[in-house]
Amino acid sequence: MKVNLDQWYKCDIDRKVFKELTKRSDWQGIKHVSLWIVFLFLAGYMAFITWGTWWTVLWFLIYGNIYMACNPVWHECGHRTAFKTRWLNEIFYHIGSFMYNFEPIRWRWSHFHHHSYTLHTDPYDYEIQVTKPTDLLFVFLMHLPGGNLFTFLFFHLETIKHALGMKSIVMEDCVPENERAKCRFFARTHVSIWLGIMVISVYFSTWFLALYLLLPFLYGTTMIHCIQFIQHAGLANNVKDHRLNVRTVKLNPIFSFLCWNMEYHLEHHMFPMVPSYNLKKLQNIIKDQIPKPFPNLFSFYKQVLPVVIKQATNPADYFKTNIPDKVN
C-alpha cells in the first residue's frame, strides 16, 4: 500500500508552533478517560437501579451513548496521541477496540489507509465506505437507536471471518502480510470473549452482561454516528485537499467532550499528529486558511442534508465548500 500523505494540501504553520501543538500529555489523556469512565459508571448504575421501570430505557440509552464514546478513545490511542506514554495508548486502544467491536489490528491499518486515501474510490476508503452517503435509508437509520443493525452484523461477521482464518477484502488491501497473524489472534480473542459473555448470560439467565458489554453498539450509537456523519457527508470524492473532503462542525460541550474534540476533524486530518486536546488551538491558528466551521449541528443538517439527498440520484454531486480566496 503506497502512502501519499505528503501529496495532500497542508496549511502554512510556524514549525515551532506546530512542534508545541504536537506535544502529548499523560495528564490530558488520564483526565479525559477517567471522567468518561466515571460518567459511564454513573449512567450504568442508574440503569441498574431503575430496572423494571420505563426510566431504565432512558438510562440505558444514555449509558449506551456514553459507552460508544469509546470510539474517540480508540481513535486517539490508535494515533498514539491520547497519552505521552506508549503503553497507556496501547492498553486503552485495545479496550476501546473491544468496546466498539473493532478488531484492533485490522482497524489500525484501515484507519491508516483512511488517512492516506480519505474519501477516495481508488484506492477505496473502506472506513468511510464512499458509496454510503448516497444510501438514504442507511443515513436515516444510523441516526436512530437500533438502526445500526447492519453495521453491527458486518463488523461481527468480519471479525468471525478473521477468527476462522479467512481473509476479507479490507485485510487484503490494508493489513500487511506480517500483521495478519496478529489480526487473526485478536479476532479469536474477541470472539472468545463474546462467547464467554453469552454463555454466562444463558447460564445465569440474565440480560445484564449483554446489555452492558455487547449491545451498546446496537442501541447506543446515535451520538457517535451523528458525529461521524458530519465529518465527511456530502463532500467531494477523489481530491487531495482535506478542506474539500473533511469538515469541522462546532458541537455543544457534552458532545465535544464525548467525541474528544473530533468535531475539529478537518484540522485532525490535515495534521494527524496533533493531539485532540490541542485541535482547538490549531483551528485558531489556521482558521484564515480553511473553510469556516459550521456553527452547530442544525446549521450543518440544514445546508448539507439536501446535498446528501441529491447524491442519492446523482453521486457526482457534492457540497461546494468555500475555501478562503487568499489561500486557493
- Mean pLDDT on 215-231: 92
- Which of 180-184, 190-194, 227-231, 265-269 has the least mean pLDDT? 227-231
d(CA 72, CA 91): 14
Mean pLDDT score, 180-197: 97
Q: Which of 70-74, 106-110, 140-144, 226-230 has the lowest mean pLDDT?
A: 140-144
Query: Which DSSP symbol is given to 25?
Result: -
Rg of the chain's alpha carbons, rounded to an integer?
20
The answer, yes or no, to whether residue 187 has pLDDT greater than 60, is yes
Question: Measured between alpha carbons, how far is residue 98 from residues 92, 152, 176, 219, 258 in Å?
Answer: 10, 13, 21, 16, 18
Least confident segment among 147-161, 198-212, 286-300 = 147-161
Residue 140's pLDDT is what?
84
Which residue type is seen at 247?
Answer: R
Model pLDDT, residue 3: 43
Residue 182: the pLDDT is 97
DSSP annotation string for 38-102? HHHHHHHHHHHHTTTSTHHHHHHHHHHHHHTTHHHHHHHHHTT-S-SSHHHHHHHHHHHHHHTT-
**Cβ contact 82:274 at 8 Å:** no
- For residue 1, name the pLDDT band (cuts at 50, 70, 90): very low
Q: Please determine, for residue 328, whether its predicted confidence score (pLDDT) is greater than 60.
A: no
Give the cell for residue 257. Answer: 467532550
Q: What is the mean pLDDT of residues 256-270?
A: 97
Q: How far apart are CA 210 and CA 201, in angstroms?
A: 7
Is the pLDDT at 6 greater than 60? The verdict is no
Mean pLDDT of 5-15: 86
**Structure confidence by residue, pLDDT tens digits, 233-259:** 999 999 999 999 999 999 999 999 999
> CA-CA distance, 230 to 155, in Å (whole number)?
21
Closest to 123 in 3D by CA, of 240, 11, 269 = 240
Q: What pLDDT score was predicted for residue 135?
A: 75
Q: What are phi and psi of 50, to 5 degrees?
A: -100, 10
Q: For 121, list phi and psi in degrees, rounded to 5.
A: -100, -15
Mean pLDDT of 205-209: 93
Euclidean distance between the first and the last CA atom of the chain, given in angstroms as a whole number: 30
Lowest mean pLDDT: which of 81-95, 148-162, 164-178, 232-246? 148-162
Question: Which position has the higher pLDDT, 4 or 287?
Answer: 287
Burial class, 312, CB count within 10 angstroms (exposed 0-12 / middle 13-18 / buried 19+): middle
Asked if residue 247 lies in contact with residue 293, where contact means CB atoms within 8 angstroms, the answer is yes
Nearest Cα residue to 83 out of 37, 39, 21, 32: 32
What distance separates the 2 farthest-apart alpha carbons in the chain?
Answer: 66
User: Which phi and psi (to 5°) does residue 204 adopt?
Assistant: -95, 5
Residue 150 has pLDDT above 90, yes or no: no
Percentage of the chain modeled with pLDDT above 90:
80
CA angle 225-189-78, nearest 5°?
A: 45
Q: List, for residues 268-280, the tens digit of each pLDDT value.
A: 999 999 999 999 9
